[in-house]
Amino acid sequence: MKYELVSGLETHVELSTKTKIFCSCRTDFGGEPNTHCCPICIGLPGTLPKLNKEVVRYAIMAGLATNCEINLISKMDRKNYVYPDLPKAYQISQYDLPLCKNGYIQLDSGKKIRIARIHIEEDAGKLVHKGGDVYVDYNRGGVPLIEIVTQPDIRSSEEAREYVEKLQLIMRYIGVSDCKMQEGSMRCDVNISVRPEGSEEFGTRTEIKNMNSLTFMTKAMEYEKNRQIELIENGGKVEQETLRYIESSGTTESMRGKEDAHDYRYFREPDLVTIHTLSEEVENIRKSLPELPTARIKKYIEKFGISEKDAESIVKYKNISDFFEKAIQGIENPKIVSNFIIGQIFSTLNNEQEKESFDIKVSAESLNELCKLVESKKINVGLAKSTLLKMLETGKNVSNFISQEDMQSISEEKLLEICKKAVDSNPNAVKDYLSGKEKALKVLIGFVMKETKGKVDALNTQKNILDTIKNI
């Protein structure tokens, strides 16, 4: 019997506000343990929370960017559970009236992964395991989160990965979070069940907690899917439980039984008032949203003539896309700029983290200046490429490497004269070319480039060389 994976994700995104959700403590990542917390963070008796308005605005931005409806009336609730990283023994979250609902993210296939809700809540502290002891760091406690919950629409680990990548990109573009999974500012709880293909009934689900790596998330999903199938086919029964993924062995193990909503004994948070949002505020937030990744890709392809692959490569990193937008100002053919970014600049960046930060020594204005020299035919692409590499290495501007003499063009008459000299000076290369060895043509083009110090266009040079050879 063939089985089908059924999965939904609960993605926690830490918001990039300067202060926490209910107090004025800093939200900076890291720091000495328990130095970014106060009596409100650790839930001392007599303290009262005060909702950070910026958290509400960020959540609405996230909802609008993912096609959600915004609830104009919302509230906070207490989610009760006992765990060492939650000193109050409850988390302030949202239950039946979340800020956002009924959205979606569309995959490249056209399939929409429906978003059931986006709600705001406080993060818990962090447990640190050392030498058999467990320590608690409450620096992260009270950091504002949005939890983005999908419907069970995901049918493969590949779909899950694409959904998370697109969600991550959207959150970065609108500026609500850096979504650094390696730092825990974006992490996923993955709900998984299997059912016979063609069946409409859901199987019993398990939940893999706190996945903060796309690679490990997809591996965990594949393992858990196969584990459940094997268990069912051997006459066993899948238990509803919460799991952790063991990276070293590539397996999952049980943490505890999986809770349902009633287990948390949700009730309204008595210390916080109802959240009222005006429809005018929502529309103002909608108008303030930046251009989203899908819109940029479409613009780059349709307006700028850039290939889909190259457009996606640039838009994948917000800093690079913003750099590109500045660098194309006044450029008639933006492909010149995209080619330099994907070619020369990408060759100097070693990994995804370097592309995300995009901390390079060349400004968008300097690249723009170089590209305008190419576009006006004052220098050729070859010279521009070598110049850009020097600029990336030193941080110096175009003028430090290209002189007025370099920008003086070679007339067609002079170019033809040099091409004839190339043919006369390299009879063996001409002979090899005429005998079918097309690579020999590179010798002749190289001769011309050396004579002109790279000032001429390679294609035009090739044409003149071939015309010269025909007339021998």
Reported as a single tens digit per residue, the pLDDT across 94-113 is 999 999 999 999 999 999 99
Q: Among positive and negative, which fits the CA dihedral 89, 95, 101, 107?
A: positive
Contact 160, 9 (CB under 8 A): yes
Closest alpha carbon to 208 in 195, 225, 184:
225
Residue 57 domain flag = yes
User: Same structural domain for residues 227 and 278?
Assistant: yes
Query: Over 32-101, what HEC string results?
Result: CCCCCCCCCCCCCCCCCCCCCHHHHHHHHHHHHHCCCEECCEECCEEEECCCCCCCCCEEEECCCCCCEE
Domain final residue pick, 228, 251, 283 = 283
User: Same structural domain for residues 226 and 318?
Assistant: no
User: Same structural domain for residues 136 and 260?
Assistant: yes
Residue 117 domain flag = yes
Kind and range of the H or E element at 428?
helix 427-434
User: Same structural domain for residues 68 and 189?
Assistant: yes
Residue 407 domain flag = no
Residue 137 token pair: 């760091």
CB count, 10 Å around CB of 312? 16
Residue 101 domain flag = yes
Max Cα–Cα distance, the chain, nearest Å: 98
Residue 15 domain flag = yes
Please report, for residues 291, 337, 343, the alpha-carbon distance to residue 19 in angstroms, rounded to integers and kept in the order given. Answer: 26, 39, 40
Domain final residue pick, 264, 283, 302 = 283
Residue 74 token pair: 């919302």
User: Same structural domain for residues 302 and 242?
Assistant: no
Residue 346 domain flag = yes
Rounded Cα distance between 285 and 289, Å, is 6
User: Same structural domain for residues 266 and 393?
Assistant: no
User: Same structural domain for residues 234 and 328?
Assistant: no
Q: What is the DSSP letter of 258?
A: P
User: Same structural domain for residues 134 and 102?
Assistant: yes
State the residue for tokens 């103002």. Answer: 284
Residue 405 domain flag = no
DSSP string of 266-302?
Answer: -EE-TTS--EE--HHHHHHHHHHPPPPHHHHHHHHHH
User: Same structural domain for residues 160 and 299?
Assistant: no
User: Same structural domain for residues 361 and 444?
Assistant: no
Per-residue pLDDT of the chain in tens (472 residues, 90 and over written 9): 899 999 999 999 999 999 999 999 999 887 899 999 999 988 899 999 999 999 999 999 999 999 999 999 999 999 998 888 899 999 999 999 999 999 999 999 999 999 999 999 999 998 888 888 999 999 999 999 999 999 999 999 999 999 999 999 999 999 999 999 988 899 999 999 999 998 989 999 999 998 999 999 999 999 999 999 999 999 999 999 999 999 989 999 888 765 566 778 999 999 999 999 999 999 999 999 999 999 999 999 999 999 999 999 999 999 999 999 999 999 999 999 999 999 999 999 998 889 989 999 999 999 999 999 989 888 888 888 989 999 999 999 888 887 655 555 667 778 788 888 888 889 888 888 888 888 888 888 888 888 776 667 677 788 888 888 877 6
Residue 455: CATH number of its domain: 1.10.10.410
Instruction: Give how many domains the chain has, as a whole number.
Output: 3
Q: Which domain covers residue 442, as residue numbers?
A: 412-470
Residue 249 token pair: 């062995």
3-state secondary structure of 127: strand
User: Same structural domain for residues 378 and 449?
Assistant: no
Strands (E), 107-169: 112-122, 126-130, 133-137, 144-150
Residue 17 domain flag = yes
User: Same structural domain for residues 183 and 299?
Assistant: no
State the residue for tokens 């002891």. Answer: 133
Domain final residue pick, 283, 314, 339 = 283
State the residue for tokens 């040099």. Answer: 418
Phi, psi of 372 (to 5 degrees): -65, -35
3-state secondary structure of 247: coil
In tens, the pLDDT along 217-236 reads: 999 999 999 999 999 999 99
